[in-house]
């Protein structure tokens, strides 16, 4: 499979106007994507849990038009959000060759997130995934393929061109993105379902997201990825990530939680180590991020719990644990961790199964 696979043949149908809606989830990477090349291609393979409760709902309202420009408006929670439009413009330019109907319509893109916009939770993965699904669904109608299922591979391909990690937000529950020698079907172009056996321990895995810092990030993911080009440790990091994914394969099969924890926390800290050692260097963790990590480690040593943490490109902490420990971990979070969150806020989430059409 290469890019040409996603260039459509002539459309057979015309549609004057209409509306489509999709709800797409966020995801949390266990092995991280950090560093890219070409058109949104990852320097290493990554794997994520798809989430269930953190999601974006997007409606695409379309109407035929004549001009040769892209024509769209973006609305967040019912209000025009012009600040999102340059990103969508760039996205449309990038995907135009794969979705050539984009200049034939005027679009109204209405979007809303299940989590507060200011929560510091990245909405780009769920947002780009939901929009990609709407566009690929519209293409299905234009191709006269109304009866067939929406092309989830193409949706993942298009979502990736909007935001890399968005290609892992189409399906669930464990998604791999990036060529990996041991994972058949894995590809730099799209996210695919993890193809091997997964132990019961990882079914319904819980993710409580502790909102440590809700402000704008000082350094965007795009800038962070770029800094990997000149990074002295980049090659070792890409190798480490691919090896960590290799190590996860037998762990996911056997259910060895203590080994799982080591890989997941090593990945989170390695991601942030890349930030600390970039030039210019930057720190996205906050003092409370470290407080939470230390409390998790102390609790784990004291109770033999299988709780662990991971981090995205920000200060918030994802607390991961098996469903069986929900009660004890919830008490621990309330008693010890919630005090380190902005306004005592957290989001309770768990592994989910992918996007749905509304």
Tell the smallest beta-carbon distance from residue 124 to ligand DP6 (Å).
5
Residues that bind ligand DP6 (CB under 6 A): 29, 32-34, 40, 46, 122, 124, 163-165, 221-222, 225, 271, 312-313
113/305 with CB nearer ligand DP6: 113
Tell the smallest beta-carbon distance from residue 256 to ligand DP6 (Å).
23
Tell the smallest beta-carbon distance from residue 95 to ligand DP6 (Å).
14
Please, which residues bridge with residue 213 across strands?
Answer: none
47/99 with CB nearer ligand DP6: 47
Nearest to 221 by CA among 291, 346, 128, 319: 128
50/350 with CB nearer ligand DP6: 50
142/190 with CB nearer ligand DP6: 190
| CA pair distance 92, 70, nearest whole angstrom | 8
34/205 with CB nearer ligand DP6: 34
Tell the smallest beta-carbon distance from residue 208 to ligand DP6 (Å).
18
140/272 with CB nearer ligand DP6: 272
Compute the CA torsion angle 260, 265, 268, 271 (nearest 10 deg).
-100
Please, which residues bridge with residue 112 across strands?
Answer: 57
Tell the smallest beta-carbon distance from residue 290 to ligand DP6 (Å).
18
Q: Answer whether 210's CB lies under 8 Å from 346's CB.
A: yes
| CA pair distance 103, 64, nearest whole angstrom | 9
Q: Answer whether 282's CB lies under 8 Å from 167's CB.
A: no
Please say whether the dihedral angle defined by the alpha carbons of residues 271, 276, 277 and 282, taken in this order, is positive or negative.
positive
Q: Answer whether 282's CB lies under 8 Å from 305's CB.
A: no
Tell the smallest beta-carbon distance from residue 342 to ligand DP6 (Å).
20
Name the residue number minimizing CB distance to ligand DP6: 164
| CA pair distance 207, 204, nearest whole angstrom | 9
């Amino acid at each position: 499979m290469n890019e040409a696979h996603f260039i459509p043949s002539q459309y057979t149908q015309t549609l004057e106007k209409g509306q489509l809606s999709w709800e797409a989830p966020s995801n949390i990477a266990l092995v991280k994507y950090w560093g890219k090349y070409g058109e949104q291609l990852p320097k290493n393979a990554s794997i994520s849990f798809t989430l269930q409760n953190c999601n974006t709902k997007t409606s695409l309202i379309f109407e035929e038009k004549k001009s040769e420009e892209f024509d769209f408006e973006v609305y967040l929670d019912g209000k025009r959000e012009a600040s999102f439009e340059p990103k969508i413009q760039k996205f449309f330019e990038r995907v135009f060759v794969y979705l050539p109907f984009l200049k034939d319509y005027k679009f109204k893109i209405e979007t809303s997130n299940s989590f507060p916009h200011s929560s510091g939770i990245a909405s780009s993965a769920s947002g780009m995934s939901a929009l990609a699904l709407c566009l690929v669904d519209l293409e299905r109608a234009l191709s006269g393929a109304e009866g067939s299922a929406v092309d989830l591979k193409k949706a993942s391909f298009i979502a990736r061109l909007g935001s890399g990690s968005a290609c892992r937000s189409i399906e669930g529950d464990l998604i791999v993105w990036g060529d990996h020698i041991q994972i058949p079907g894995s590809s730099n172009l799209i996210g695919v379902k993890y193809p091997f056996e997964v132990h019961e321990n990882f079914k319904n895995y819980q993710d409580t997201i502790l909102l440590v810092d809700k402000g704008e990030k000082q350094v965007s993911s795009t800038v962070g990825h770029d800094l990997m080009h000149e990074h002295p440790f980049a090659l070792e990091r890409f190798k480490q990530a691919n090896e960590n994914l290799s190590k996860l394969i037998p762990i996911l099969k056997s259910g060895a939680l203590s080994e799982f924890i080591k890989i997941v926390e090593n990945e989170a800290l390695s991601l942030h180590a890349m930030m600390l050692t970039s030039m210019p260097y930057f720190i996205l963790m906050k003092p409370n991020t470290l407080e939470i990590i230390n409390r998790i480690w102390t609790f784990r040593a004291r109770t033999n719990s299988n709780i662990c943490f991971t981090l995205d490109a920000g200060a918030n902490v994802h607390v991961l644990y098996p469903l069986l420990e929900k009660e004890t971990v919830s008490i621990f979070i309330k008693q010890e961790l919630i005090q380190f969150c902005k306004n005592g806020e957290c989001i309770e989430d768990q592994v989910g199964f992918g996007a749905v059409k509304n």
